[in-house]
Structure 1
Amino acid sequence: MDMEKPQIRRILLIENDVFFVGLLSLVLTKSGYGIISANNGKDAVKVLSEQPVDLIILDLMMPEMDGLAFLHWLREEANATTPAIVLTGMVAADTEQHVLEAGGDALLYKPIQFPELLSKIKQIEQLM
């Protein structure tokens, strides 16, 4: 029996830059994804307690609960396996290592290229 692969339908976008959220939401919505957004990791915890999502896209640098703290919460406290793509403008030699160790599935550097992001989403979808 051939099982159909799950499709990513709902994406939680965790980002504190309102303009970027709007732009990213537009691109992802036009690509067929439903978007739920949160301003920071603390708000995202609340969102996830109320509704499931298929993918999380989050910024690394946020107020209240940053991306690494959120990933630690997601993997260790929530025990969730929801794929997470981390976005950051912070280019440092060990950034990717920290993101992957915290439980991120991919890292993209800002300014992101939308085709690259959509390609990364499709790659993650293939692994689901």
Structure 2
Amino acid sequence: MTHILVVEDNPDILSNLHDYLSLKGYIIDCADNGLTALHLISSQSYDLIILDIMLPGVDGLSICHSLRNDAHLNTPVIMLTARDQLEDKLLGFQNGADDYLVKPFDLSELLVRVEAILRRSQAKDLHSELQVGDLKFNLNTMSVSRAGDTIQLKPAALKILQKLMQASPNVVKKETLEELLWGDDLPDKDNLKAHIYLLRNKIDKPYQQKRLITVHGFGYKLIANND
């Protein structure tokens, strides 16, 4: 089910949005101030945020800016405001809004915008998760899992894994991975082997089927199966 957060300090508008979107099949959480909104965003995962600009506590522009620059979340945001000047709209987009709706608005227009943004977001998400067999890598959250188990990896291992998954089932040259990690400043020793060893311990060692394969004298590859 699609989960939407509505942030609006006008109780009548908030109630109308909640009831209307709930009838359309969405799960709706509500906040009537900026601090409550920030708390919900930090503790829940939302598919969309409908965000009023003028809020008590923390305003909508600050929330959106924090969402993009501090929390590094890509959750789509539709901003609501009574301000209809071009400068106000530009300010909203500059702070990370995906769409902008001026009050008063028709609920049917809001619904069309909600559906359009969710379609774009879902299409984008299809390209943001890499998968090789039961090994998954979400590029939005930088989270890795295998067979449903969460795997914690360090930044270097994440870089290697992403490259290997994007190339799978083809081989990635050793030199390509070294350049990915160190650029032109290559280490004196074969540090890549150590990183591969640590990565293999995380994504392969606990499991019967091995995915990370060494192609001796050339590089490495990830495979979906051993057939």
**Structure 1 residue runs of 4 or more that deviate by more than 6 Å after TM superposition:** none
State yes or no: 1:74 paired with 2:67.
yes
Higher alpha-carbon deviation: 38-47 or 69-78: 38-47
Q: The residue matched to 1:13 in structure 2 has which SS?
A: strand
Q: CA deviation at 1:89?
A: 0.8
Q: What residue is the counterpart of 2:99 in the other structure?
A: 106
Q: CA deviation at 1:125?
A: 1.6
Q: The residue matched to 1:107 in structure 2 has which SS?
A: strand
- Residue 121 of structure 1 aligns to which amino acid in structure 2? V
CA distance in 1, matches of 2:41, 2:55: 17
Higher alpha-carbon deviation: 22-31 or 41-50: 41-50
Q: The residue matched to 1:32 in structure 2 has which SS?
A: coil
Q: What residue is the counterpart of 1:51 in the other structure?
A: 44
State yes or no: 1:119 paired with 2:98.
no
CA distance in 2, matches of 1:81, 1:41: 18
Higher relative contact order (CA 8 A, sep 6+): 1
- Residue 63 of structure 1 aligns to which amino acid in structure 2? P
Q: CA deviation at 1:93?
A: 2.7
Q: The residue matched to 1:78 in structure 2 has which SS?
A: coil
- Encode CA deviations 1:3-36: one digit per residue, 9 max, x unaligned: xxxxx61100111111111111011001110110
Q: CA deviation at 1:41?
A: 2.0
CA distance in 2, matches of 1:48, 1:71: 11
Counting aligned pairs with the same residue, the percent is 36
Q: Of 25, 31, 34, which residue of structure 1 is paired with 2:18? A: 25
Question: Contact 2:47 / 2:118 at 8 angstroms: preserved in 1?
Answer: no
- TM-score when scaled to structure 2? 0.52
Q: The residue matched to 2:45 in structure 1 has which SS?
A: coil
RMSD: 1.1
Q: The residue matched to 1:12 in structure 2 has which SS?
A: strand
Q: Of 33, 42, 51, which residue of structure 2 is paired with 1:40? A: 33
Q: The residue matched to 1:112 in structure 2 has which SS?
A: coil
Unaligned 5+ segments in structure 2 are 122-227
Q: Of 70, 83, 88, which residue of structure 2 is paired with 1:95? A: 88
Structure showing greater Rg: 2
CA distance in 2, matches of 1:113, 1:26: 14
- Encode CA deviations 1:57-98: one digit per residue, 9 max, x unaligned: 010111111111111110011100000000111222311100
